[in-house]
Chain A
């Protein structure tokens, strides 16, 4: 008896004694002990946890840089660090956050764990490649850490030429190599997801019965495979110019530094969709589960993911409106950039429509989902603003842009990541975390975030440039507010670190489906057995079937004290 019409043996939970007897069933966590069993695992679930540890470390490092930036910006004068040092701070903050946290986090942690479970497979298509992806990520991380240990890089995470190729006196190559190698890690994951989703769905799991989380990760993987190699080869050219003096972008030889920007942004714009699409996938799952309703307009949302992935490749020039690109192509990029907002907006409308007349409960994951919807909307609307040539000419390279992308990256992606972690934590660990603390953290994050970044919209609009180590005194009040917000945000992020770790040892056992959610991943025990399903399910209807009487009778709304 389960929620997706599994017609074979009864649900796994009835076969063995349940958690209430204290007997610990075989699952992927207790299947084997010891460092080797983890470091040489091929189990996608264990690899997801390995990634969880790695991305958390890099998130902390990136956050540390953010803290230092905000401390410097408490006062108008540059008084905490040297201007060169400030350049290194924001560069390393960007590199670490973008390449070592935002891009891998949701796909490599939640995606790795859930994709096989959600489609009814035993593992990803290429388990060894999956493990390799984690190792490659860490090697890449080592190069970046080496670069940090030797003073960091000062080019901005965007590595614009000719500064990065000629004039920077920092260890550009090692940081660039770190990014180059991390690209392979990303590609291995994306490739794995695409093949898995195409070839390893359970019987009856047709494309339009897939959870939207899967559609999002599929679209993300397409972007990864098509875009990442371009930034890789571009970094290679920068390295060739720096080390071998092969001046591809050197104006003295007739080269064009702006050509670097075309190649860089061809990937780096779609990269932002790599960062947001998985979070959108999480939000779709959360909104359905905590409204106990199917997502409104499922097919539209699914196609919107693909639409975002495709259109996202056609707008990169909006990063170069004032860089000297052709005014004709700038106009085209402007229009296309507005078009790409449409599928994202459609998703927001559909999530809202899902909530309407749903049986909404406000557990911690739902708090993050709701936060996402609001903050992502603000970030997205300001995106349409800066897609407008006239506005961007004014706000480019100011804090308006910084605020815009942090609303998407932090208000969007990180909220999605946190929501997903909180939702699937019982599935991953079989444990519950303290409800009060988790809601407090969510609140702190929401308040802290807005206090940090909303003032930055105003600052940017008033003309405060980004990447400057000092600013005119009239901007101080807003900067102080922003730094205050950042401190609160920091506390909000540290709390989960403590209660999640606490929950692994002392948390209450969650039971297999504490949220009463519908989905193949919830039809298997929490934590799942190594092989995911004792018998592969046969799927007979779509996801989010909360509204059928059969399902209604068998599942119960999430208990108030859960999460």
Chain B
């Protein structure tokens, strides 16, 4: 079959007394490959989780292309674009924190983790600004609020279809933001552990796994940005 790692060679000798090697694994390499594969499998569940929302988006976009474009026009491309850049920076700093572990620079790991956290927080701050703006302009469906876009293209039946767009906007970006909050929480814990010297070139699995998660959340945004913000970007 595909891989040959599972049924194989005896463990590396120097691993057996490594404090981070769990007893049911034979070697650090087996442990690392297991945790990486495990994390990727979890990310597959995340792909399908967000995927259900993307499916709904595709169907309703197919059904109501003009209303979706007109609704998208109400999202601020500048803020969205800045947020995209912020997340891309945070992916870089996340990757660099792992690099720092690989070259055994303890303090550098912490610096990059904190940078990632701060960038993540910036993203959330900008999202909060955007959400407040939506509330102000009566563009929030449900929640017991009054949905009333001040836009001739979104009246009547179009207004109702626009609620679909905005419901999707809030659910998708809201879920994304929740993932960011969880990520920031985990990164904070890792930053403390990294400061205590837990990670070095022989062992940095939690950093790698959290990095995978963080990059994945970035990828979700890479798709959300054009699909939500850029639909109505060209003049109507």
**A contacts B directly in the complex (CB < 8 Å)?**
yes
Contacting pair B7 A253 (CB below 8 A): no
- Nearest CB in chain A: distance from B236 CB, A: 20
Contacting pair A253 B52 (CB below 8 A): no
Contacting pair A248 B164 (CB below 8 A): yes
CA distance A147 to B222 in the complex (A): 39
Q: Which residue of A lies closest to B4 (CB)?
A: A206
Measured between beta carbons, the chain A residues less than 8 angstroms from B25 are 200
Task: Answer whether residue B192 sits at the interface, using C-beta atoms and an 8 A cutoff.
Answer: no
Q: By DSSP majority rule, is chain B's interface helix, strand, loop, or mixed?
A: helix
Contacting pair B143 A237 (CB below 8 A): no
Contact of B6 among A201, A237, A241 (CB under 8 A): A201
- Nearest CB in chain A: distance from B135 CB, A: 14
CB contact under 8 A between A199 and B5, given known A229-B45, A253-B160? yes
- Nearest CB in chain A: distance from B208 CB, A: 15
The segment from A12-20, A121-129, A467-475 found at the interface with B is: A121-129
- Nearest CB in chain A: distance from B174 CB, A: 9
CA distance A226 to B142 in the complex (A): 31
CA distance A172 to B161 in the complex (A): 26
CA distance A229 to B54 in the complex (A): 13
Measured between beta carbons, the chain B residues less than 8 angstroms from A397 are none
- Nearest CB in chain B: distance from A241 CB, A: 8
CA distance A197 to B5 in the complex (A): 11
Q: Which residue of B lies closest to A198 (CB)?
A: B6
Task: Answer whether residue B223 sits at the interface, using C-beta atoms and an 8 A cutoff.
Answer: no
Question: B6, B34, B163: which has the most chain A beta carbons within 10 Å?
Answer: B6
CB contact under 8 A between A207 and B38, given known A198-B6, A199-B30? no
CA distance A236 to B63 in the complex (A): 22
- Nearest CB in chain B: distance from A190 CB, A: 8
Contacting pair A245 B143 (CB below 8 A): yes
Task: Answer whether residue B55 sits at the interface, using C-beta atoms and an 8 A cutoff.
Answer: yes
Measured between beta carbons, the chain B residues less than 8 angstroms from A255 are 60, 164
- Nearest CB in chain B: distance from A536 CB, A: 8
Measured between beta carbons, the chain B residues less than 8 angstroms from A195 are 34, 37-38, 41
Contacting pair B45 A254 (CB below 8 A): no
Measured between beta carbons, the chain A residues less than 8 angstroms from B163 are 247, 253
- Nearest CB in chain A: distance from B103 CB, A: 27
Task: Answer whether residue B182 sits at the interface, using C-beta atoms and an 8 A cutoff.
Answer: no
Task: Answer whether residue A301 sits at the interface, using C-beta atoms and an 8 A cutoff.
Answer: no
Interface flags, B161-179, vs A, CB<8A=1, else 0: 1011001101100010000
Measured between beta carbons, the chain B residues less than 8 angstroms from A126 are 34, 38
Contact of B48 among A124, A227, A246, A247 (CB under 8 A): A227
Task: Answer whether residue A139 sits at the interface, using C-beta atoms and an 8 A cutoff.
Answer: no
CA distance A204 to B6 in the complex (A): 9
Measured between beta carbons, the chain B residues less than 8 angstroms from A234 are 52
Measured between beta carbons, the chain B residues less than 8 angstroms from A240 are 142, 167, 171
CB contact under 8 A between A198 and B56, given known A245-B142, A246-B167, A248-B168? no
Task: Answer whether residue A161 sits at the interface, using C-beta atoms and an 8 A cutoff.
Answer: no
Contact of A225 among B23, B34, B44 (CB under 8 A): B44
Contacting pair B7 A201 (CB below 8 A): yes
Measured between beta carbons, the chain B residues less than 8 angstroms from A203 are 7-8, 10
Measured between beta carbons, the chain B residues less than 8 angstroms from A204 are 7
Interface flags, B126-163, vs A, CB<8A=1, else 0: 00000000000000011110000000000001001101
Contacting pair A248 B7 (CB below 8 A): no
Contacting pair B48 A244 (CB below 8 A): no
CA distance A226 to B25 in the complex (A): 27
Measured between beta carbons, the chain B residues less than 8 angstroms from A276 are none
Interface flags, B19-32, vs A, CB<8A=1, else 0: 00011110000100
Q: Which residue of B lies closest to A200 (CB)?
A: B6
CB contact under 8 A between A187 and B38, given known A122-B24, A248-B164, A254-B63? no
Interface flags, A250-276, vs B, CB<8A=1, else 0: 001111100100110000000000000
Measured between beta carbons, the chain B residues less than 8 angstroms from A125 are 24, 34, 38
Measured between beta carbons, the chain A residues less than 8 angstroms from B144 are 245
Give chain A interface residues in 195-238, CB to chain B under 8 Å.
Answer: 195, 197-208, 225-230, 232-234, 236-237
CB contact under 8 A between A191 and B41, given known A200-B30, A252-B160, A254-B64? yes
A residues with CB within 8 A of B: 121-127, 129, 187, 190-192, 194-195, 197-208, 225-230, 232-234, 236-237, 240-241, 244-248, 252-256, 259, 262-263, 539
A–B complex contacts, Cβ < 8 Å, 8 sampled: A125-B24, A195-B37, A195-B41, A226-B48, A229-B46, A248-B56, A248-B164, A259-B59
**Known pairs A122-B23, A125-B34, A233-B50 / 15 extra A-B pairs, C-beta < 8 Å:** A122-B24, A125-B38, A126-B34, A127-B24, A190-B41, A197-B6, A199-B5, A206-B1, A229-B51, A232-B49, A234-B52, A237-B52, A245-B144, A254-B164, A259-B59
- A-B CB proximity, top 7 nearest: A245-B142, A233-B52, A229-B49, A246-B167, A229-B48, A207-B1, A123-B24
